[in-house]
Amino acid sequence: MVTASSIRRLSQSVDRIERQSQPHRWKVVQVRRGYEQDPDAALDRHFAAHPEDQDANVVIFEFFDDENSR
C-alpha cells in the first residue's frame, strides 16, 4: 500500500536527482589589465564598475600594453 509519506519521500528524491543532474553554469568574467598593473587593483577597478560580476567563478585577465593605452 502506498502512503502519503512514501510518496513525499519519492518526490523529494526525484527533486534531489533533478537538481544534481542539471549542469552548473560557471560565471566567467574578463578583466582588462596592464602588464605592470597589480591584479588586485585591476579586479577592484572592474568590480567597482561592474558590481554584478563579484560572484564570478572564473576571472580571465585580458592584458594590454601599458604604454599604448595612455
Task: Dump the DSSP string for 4-52.
Answer: HHHHHHHHHHHHHHHHHHSPPPPPEEEEEEETTS-HHHHHHHHHHH-GG
Q: What is the structure's pLDDT at 68?
A: 59
pLDDT digits 0-9 by tens, 21-64? 878 788 999 999 999 999 999 999 999 999 999 999 999 999 98
Q: What is the pTM of this model?
A: 0.59
Closest by Cα among 3, 69, 1, 2 to 36? 69
What's the pLDDT at 19?
A: 84
In this prediction, residue 69 carries a pLDDT of 53
